[in-house]
Amino acid sequence: MMKAELQKAFNKQINEELYSAYLYTAMINYFELENLGGFASWVRAQTIEELAHTSKLIGYLHERGVDVKFGAIAKPTATWKNTLTAFEAIYKHECHISACINKLYGLALKLDDHAAAIFLTWFVNEQVEEEANASEIVQQLKLAKDTPGPMFMLNRELGARAIAFPAAPATE
Ligand code: FEO
């Protein structure tokens, strides 16, 4: 049986992932209204990934016989100064999520729940990729300096991002 403290922490992470999806949904809206369909498409894929992360965590709790507790999801920021500040916000948010995951992983180890810790290694690794992806786009936007040619190219490039549906079982 998973200890109550760890159950609570898992539930908190589910809320964090749902908030991530909510924040990125707000960004879809922002980019669509800015006529940056490629950027909107990139954050749409990101939103779906966050829902997949949520589902993976919920699936694991169910496997452990844990009841999921749903709390309110905070209202996200919905507007940004420009594309660069929006992507800086994504990078900052992903760093926050990495810190949450590391804390959850640390708690699983502290409570001697090795099965949960092993499950969470997938998320630890995923966060390395999440941060790297956002950081790379921030660097590209800094180089583009909001000039039409590079922004057009970047918008087209990001629009080509495929949506990945992690179909793996919760414990993989
Ligand atoms: Fe689910 Fe982007 O972290």
Look up the CATH architecture of domain 4-159.
Up-down Bundle (1.20)
State which ligand 1 atom lies nearest to the alpha carbon of 53. 1
Distance CA 84, CA 96 (A): 18
**Percent of residues, the chain, with pLDDT higher than 70:** 95
Say whether pLDDT at 168 is over 70.
no
The mean per-residue pLDDT over the stretch 55-80 comes to 97
**CB neighbour class for 119 (10 Å; exposed up to 12, middle 13-18, buried from 19):** buried
DSSP state of 171: T
pLDDT digits (tens, 9 = 90+) for 8-39: 999 999 999 999 999 999 999 999 999 999 99
Say whether pLDDT at 44 is over 90.
yes
Ligand 1 contacts CB of residue 54 (under 6 A) = no
Ligand 1 contacts CB of residue 20 (under 6 A) = yes
Ligand 1 contacts CB of residue 94 (under 6 A) = yes
Token pair of 71, please? 């709390």
The mean per-residue pLDDT over the stretch 133-144 comes to 97
Domain boundaries, given as residue ranges, for the chain: 4-159
pLDDT computed for residue 166 by the predictor: 59
Expressed in angstroms and rounded, the spacing between residue 148 Cα and the centre of ligand 1 is 30
Indicate which residue's Cα is closest to atom 1 of ligand 1: 50
